[in-house]
Amino acid sequence: MSERAASPAINGDAAPGAAAAQPQSRGRSFLRRLLRAAPARVSLGFLLLLAATVILVPLCSPYAYDQQDLDLIGQPAAPDGAHWFGTDTLGEDSLTRVFYGGRISLCVGLASALVATLLGTAIGALAGFFGGRVDQWLMRGTDVVLSIPLLPLVLLLSGMFRPGLGSLVLAIGGLTWMATARIVRGQVLSLRELEFVDAARALGAGNGRLILRHILPNAVGPITVSATLAVGSSILLESALSFLGFGVQPPTPTWGNLLNAASPWIGTAPWLALPPGLMIFATVLAVNCLGDALRDALEPKD
Amino acid sequence: MSQAWLLRRLLGVVPLLLAISVLLFTIVHLAPGGPTDVYADNPSVTPQALAEIRIAYGLDQPLPVQYLRWASAMARGVWGYSIRTGRPVTTEIAERLPASLLLGGTALALSALLALPIGILSAALRRTAVDRVLTLVSFAGISVPVFWLALMLQLLFSIHWTLLPAAGYETIGDTGVLDHLRHLAMPAAVLSLATIANWSRFLRGSLVDALQQDYVRTAYAKGHGTAGVIVHHALRNALLPVVTIISLDLASLISGAIITETVFAWPGIGRLFVESMDARDYPVLMGLMMLGSLALVLANLCADLVYTLIDPRIRYE
C-alpha cells in the first residue's frame, strides 16, 4: 500500500542505510496512527469494499450494464426480486449500472487526482526550487488559473470539445492542480535551505537529482494529503459535469449521469435517484475522512 | 496601509484580467466550428457571400487583431449580442443578475450566521462528543453532491409533504414576500450548506491553533472565562485564514450557483450559463466567464484589504 511506502520516505534522509526492519516498524506505527480514529477505519473499510465490488461486478451481476429488459422499456420499473434497485426507462438494471458507474466515477476521480498531483508537484517544485523569475512566472500563471471560476470553465471546455474519458481526466486534472502547487512550493522553499540539501549538492548532485531524490521525498506527507483530497473533489466535479449533461455520456454509466437520467423521475421513481447520490456522498465522505486522518497521522500537532 | 500599495494592488488587477481574457479567448477559438459554420451546408450561400460575411465580422483578420478588437470592446462595455436571443449580452446578464444576487446574498448571510457559532462551539468544546459530531456533520456538508441533495429536498418537501414549491422564482401573479421566501428556502439552504461546513471547519482549525498560543494562556491566567478569551483574544486572530476562504466562496456565491439554479429552475446567471451552453451561445458564455473572473479577482483584493482591518500588524509596503 502507498501509505506504507510513504512513511519511510518521510524520514528517508535521516538514515538512508538503516536496518531493513526499521521502515517496516515505522510503516506499522504510521498505520496504527492513521487508523486510530474510528472514522478513518470505517472510511478505509468502505473504500476497500467499494473497490472490490466495482472490480468484481462483471462477475457477480447477472446483467450487463447496457443490457435491456425489453418488457420493461418506457417507464422506470420498481425494485423487485430480479432487479433489486429497479430498472430505468431503457429497461436497464439499476443496481448493475450503479456499480458499473462506480468503476467510471472512481477511475476518473483517481486519474484526475493523479494528473493534478503530478502537475501541481512539478510546478510547485520548480517554482520553489529555482525561485526568482521562474517562481514569479509560474505563480502568476497559477493566479490566472485560480482567478477563473472552476465549474464554468470545466463546463465550457467539455461543452465545446465533448471529451472522451481521457480528455475529461486531463481537463479536470489540468484545472485543479493549483492548491497542490502552492503547498509543494511552500514545502520546497523551506526544505531547499536545509543542510542535507547543501550536503547533497556538495557531493555533486545536480538540480534534478536534488529535487527528485532529496527534496520531494521529504514533502511526501503534504503531497499525499492533498492528493487524497483531490480524489474527492475530482469525483464531485465529474459527477456535477455528468449530472449537467456535459461529462461522460450514456450509455456509459457514471454516478453523475445516472442522477441526470433519474432526475425527471424523482416524483414517480425516487429509487433511481437514491443509490447513485448515496454512493457519491459516501465515497467522497470516506475519502475526505481518510485525507483528514492522513493529515493527522503525518503531521502530529498536539 | 499605504496608498501606494493600494494603487499597485489595484493596477495589478489589470494584467491579471488581461491574462484571463487571453486564455478564455484562446479556448473559445480553439473550439471546433466557427460562427460561419452554420452557413457551410446552405446551398444558397455562395463562397463569395461567405467570404463577405467573414470580412463584415472581421473574421478574416489575424487572431491577435481579433483579440484586440474584442478586448477593447469588452473594456468599453460592448459585450456583443446573444446568438440565442439576439439581444445585447449585457441586457441578458443584467436581467438575470438580481435573482442570483438575492440567492447568493441569502446563502451568504445564512453561512455567516451559522458558520461562526458552529466553528466557535466546535473549537471551544474540542475533542468532546459535541465537537466530533459537528466535525462529522461538516465533513458530510462538504462531501454531499449538491445536485443530489437538491433532488432529495425536492422529493421530501415538495413531493412528499408538499410544503414548498419544487422550483422557480415566484408564483405567477403572487408578488408577496412570503411567496418569495418559500421559493428561496430550498435553493438557499442547498447553496449555503457547503459554505457553512467549510467556513466552520476552517474557523475551528484556526481557533484551535490560536487557543494554544501563549497570549491565550496569559488571558486565562488573568482570570478571563473561556467565552471572554475566545471572543476578545483568540477570535480576531483566528479569523484571518477564514477571510481567505470566505473571499473565494464569496465570488462563487455571487457569480452564480450553476448547479443549484439549474435544479431549482432559478432564473439567475448560473441557469443562464447552462442555457447558453446548450445553445453554444459563446458571446454570453464569454461575458459570464469574464464577470465571474472579475468577481473572483475583486473578492481576493477585498480579502487583502480586510486582513489589514482585522490585523493591524499586517502592513503592505
Residue A58 above 90 pLDDT?
no
Comparing alpha-carbon positions, the chain A residue that sits nearest to B254 is: A149
Residue A12 above 60 pLDDT?
no
**Euclidean distance between CA atoms B67 and A296, whole angstroms:** 49
pLDDT band at B317; cut points 50, 70, 90 = low
Grid coordinates given for A163: 471529451
* Contact list, B292 vs chain A (CB under 8 Å): 148-149, 152
Find which of A298-302, B114-118, B213-217 is predicted with most confidence, using mean pLDDT: B114-118
- What is the secondary structure of chain A as a DSSP string? -HHHHHHHHHTTTT-TT--THHHHHHHHHHHHHHTSSHHHHHHHHHHHHHHHHHHHHHHH-SS-TT-B-GGG-SSPBPP-SSSTT-B-TT-BBHHHHHHHHHHHHHHHHHHHHHHHHHHHHHHHHHHHHH-HHHHHHHHHHHHHHHTS-HHHHHHHHHHHH---HHHHHHHHHHTS-HHHHHHHHHHHHHHTTSHHHHHHHHTT--HHHIIIIIIGGGGHHHHHHHHHHHHHHHHHHHHHHHHTTSSSPTTS--HHHHHHHHGGGTTT-GGGTHHHHHHHHHHHHHHHHHHHHHHHHHS---
B88: helix, strand or coil: strand
Give the pLDDT confidence of B12-30 residue by residue, as tens digits. Answer: 888 899 999 999 888 888 7
Mean pLDDT of chain B: 85
Per the CB < 8 A criterion, the answer to whether B193 and B206 are in contact is no
Contact B296 A149 (CB under 8 A): yes
pLDDT of residue A16: 41
Contact B139 A288 (CB under 8 A): yes
ipTM value: 0.86
Residue A10 above 50 pLDDT?
no
Mean pLDDT of chain A: 83
pLDDT of residue A130: 93
Which tops the pLDDT comparison, B49 or A128? A128
The CA distances from residue A259 to A3, A94, A269, B26, B62, in Å, are: 33, 11, 12, 33, 44
pLDDT band at B33; cut points 50, 70, 90 = low
pLDDT band at B1; cut points 50, 70, 90 = low
Per the CB < 8 A criterion, the answer to whether A279 and A269 are in contact is no
Lowest mean pLDDT among A55-64, A228-237, B31-40: B31-40
Lowest mean pLDDT among A9-13, A87-91, A293-297: A9-13
Which tops the pLDDT comparison, B259 or B244? B259
Lowest mean pLDDT among A5-19, B243-257, B260-274: A5-19
At A57, which amino acid appears?
V
pLDDT of residue A302: 41
CA trace torsion B5, B7, B8, B10 (10° rounding):
120
Residue B313 above 80 pLDDT?
no
Q: Residues of chain B with pLDDT > 90: what percent?
A: 24
pLDDT of residue B145: 92
* Minimal CA separation from B159 to chain A, in Å: 6
Per the CB < 8 A criterion, the answer to whether B16 and A143 are in contact is yes
Residue B272 above 90 pLDDT?
yes
Lowest mean pLDDT among A24-38, A100-114, B193-207: A24-38
Give the DSSP letter of residue B161.
Answer: S
Q: What is the mean pLDDT of residues B249-269?
A: 83
Q: What is the mean pLDDT of residues A122-137?
A: 93
ω into B241 cis (within 30 of 0): no
Contact B159 A266 (CB under 8 A): yes
* Contact list, A287 vs chain B (CB under 8 Å): 143
Per the CB < 8 A criterion, the answer to whether A225 and A243 are in contact is no
pLDDT of residue A230: 93
The CA distances from residue B174 to A1, B103, B170, B180, B251, in Å, are: 61, 19, 7, 9, 31
Contact A156 B16 (CB under 8 A): no
pLDDT of residue B34: 64
Task: Please count the residue pairs, one from chain A and one from chain B, whose beta carbons lie less than 8 angstroms apart.
Answer: 126
- Residue written as cell 474540542? B126
Q: Which phi and psi (to 5°) does residue B29 adopt?
A: -80, -15
Residue B2 above 70 pLDDT?
no
Give the pLDDT confidence of B172-186 residue by residue, as tens digits. Answer: 776 777 888 888 889
Give the pLDDT confidence of A147-182 residue by residue, as tens digits. Answer: 888 899 998 888 888 778 888 999 999 999 999 999
Residue A46 above 90 pLDDT?
yes
Per the CB < 8 A criterion, the answer to whether B25 and B70 are in contact is yes
Lowest mean pLDDT among A215-219, B44-48, B194-198: B44-48
Contact B277 A246 (CB under 8 A): yes
**Euclidean distance between CA atoms A183 and A70, whole angstroms:** 53
Q: Residues of chain A with pLDDT > 70: what percent?
A: 87
Residue A300 above 50 pLDDT?
yes
Contact B296 A155 (CB under 8 A): no
Chain centroid, CA A199 distance in Å = 36
* pTM for the whole structure: 0.86
The dihedral built from the CA positions of residue B157, B160, B162 and B168, taken in this order, carries a sign that is positive
pLDDT band at A38; cut points 50, 70, 90 = confident
Residue A21 above 50 pLDDT?
no
Per the CB < 8 A criterion, the answer to whether A288 and A135 are in contact is no
Give the pLDDT confidence of B39-91 residue by residue, as tens digits. Answer: 767 777 788 888 887 787 777 788 888 889 888 888 888 888 887 888 999 99
Contacts of B295 by beta carbon, 8 Å cutoff, 6+ apart: B250, B251, B254, B255
**Euclidean distance between CA atoms A138 and A141, whole angstroms:** 5
Residue A18 above 50 pLDDT?
no
pLDDT of residue A9: 38
Q: Is B227 exposed, middle or buried (0-12, 13-18, 19+ CB in 10 A)?
A: exposed
**Facing B144 at nearest CB: one of A244, A259, A281:** A281
Give the pLDDT confidence of B130-150 residue by residue, as tens digits. Answer: 998 998 898 899 899 999 999
Give the pLDDT confidence of A235-264 residue by residue, as tens digits. Answer: 999 999 999 888 888 888 899 989 988 888
Q: What is the mean pLDDT of residues A26-46?
A: 83
Q: Which of B23, B93, B131, B139 to mutate to test the interface with A (most CBs of A within 10 A)?
A: B139
pLDDT of residue A237: 92
The CA-CA-CA angle for residues B222, B223, B225, to 5°, reads 130
Neighbours of A204 (CB within 10 A): 7
- Residue written as cell 447520490? A277
**Euclidean distance between CA atoms A142 and A181, whole angstroms:** 8
* Minimal CA separation from B231 to chain A, in Å: 23
Which residues of A make CB contacts under 8 Å with B? 39, 140, 143-149, 151-153, 155-157, 159-161, 232, 236, 239-240, 243-244, 246, 259, 262-263, 266-267, 270, 273-274, 276-278, 280-281, 284-285, 287-289, 292, 302
**Euclidean distance between CA atoms A277 and B163, whole angstroms:** 23
Contacts of B30 by beta carbon, 8 Å cutoff, 6+ apart: A160
**Euclidean distance between CA atoms B31 and B28, whole angstroms:** 5
Residue A2 above 60 pLDDT?
no
